[in-house]
Amino acid sequence: MSPDPVSWFLVEHGWRVVAADGSPVGTVEEVTGDTGQDIFNGISVSYGLLKRSKYVPAEQVAEITEGRIRLALSHEAFERLGFHEEAPTSAEILPPDRD
């Protein structure tokens, strides 16, 4: 019996990330999304010391269970993903009537 799926809201730093076949690819470094709007964008995955994290878009996340995320990607496809880039610093946006 496989574990029950959980919400992306529960994902924590350090959860295991595995490829579609179950082979390990790394651990969760960061979860990106808008919790207020319940929009899951993806995760950054740490896959080795001194290596930059890889970014996995939400569309490539097949299943989230307690402590583990299974991707819809093969191990080889994961390795071809781009690196996670930090989001640009946000600018303060004022309403139009407050120039």
Q: Quote the pLDDT of residue 1.
A: 66
- What amino acid occupies position 8? W
Mean pLDDT of 3-18: 94
61, containing H or E segment: strand 61-65
Q: Quote the pLDDT of residue 3.
A: 85
Return d(Cα 5, Cα 20) in angstroms, integer: 15
Kindly list the domain boundaries of the chain, sorted by start residue: 8-79
Q: What is the DSSP string of 13-31?
A: TT-EEE-TTS-EEEEEEEE
CATH superfamily of 8-79: PRC-barrel domain (2.30.30.240)
In whole numbers, what is the pLDDT of the chain averaged over residues?
86
Which residues 6+ apart lie within 8 Å of 16 measured at CB? 24, 27, 67, 68, 69
Q: Quote the pLDDT of residue 95.
A: 57
Instruction: Indicate whether 94 pLDDT > 60.
Output: no
Return d(Cα 79, Cα 25) in angstroms, integer: 9
Cβ atoms of residues 19 and 25 within 8 Å? yes
| Digit-coded pLDDT (tens) for 29-56 | 999 999 899 999 999 999 887 788 999 9
